[in-house]
Amino acid sequence: MVFAHTASQEELKAAKVPLAWRDQCSALLIPLNTCRRKNFYLPWECENERHGYEKCQYDDMMRRMKKMSKLKLQQAEELEDV
């Protein structure tokens, strides 16, 4: 599964996204932060952008958890074979 939500390094640098936030959902973070700045970080503004970004973060976490559980299962099977 390839995510289409990753922004290029040039886009992230231009948007001044911190390194810690440059992940699989970075392309969704840029318009969210733009909307937040434009609306003075009001919590009821930018809901669509925020929900899209949070959904992407959740899906990415679930993907990583499934991958980790498969790796643990493979390691347990390898230990049983030895």
Q: Residue 1: is its pLDDT beyond 70?
A: no
Contact 45, 39 (CB under 8 A): yes
Q: Is the residue at 70 inside a domain?
A: yes
Please state at what angle helix 26-38 crosses helix 47-81, rounded to 10 degrees. 150
**Sign of the C-alpha dihedral computed for residues 40, 44, 46 and 51 taken in this order:** positive
Domain that holds residue 65: 9-81
Q: What is the pLDDT of residue 6?
A: 87
Q: Is the residue at 4 inside a domain?
A: no
Closest C-alpha among 32, 26, 56 to residue 46: 32
Q: Is the residue at 43 inside a domain?
A: yes
> What is the pLDDT confidence band of residue 4, given thresholds at 50, 70 and 90?
low
**Structure tokens belonging to residue 70:** 């498969």
Q: What is the pLDDT of residues 36-63, one digit of tens each?
A: 999 999 999 999 999 999 999 999 999 9
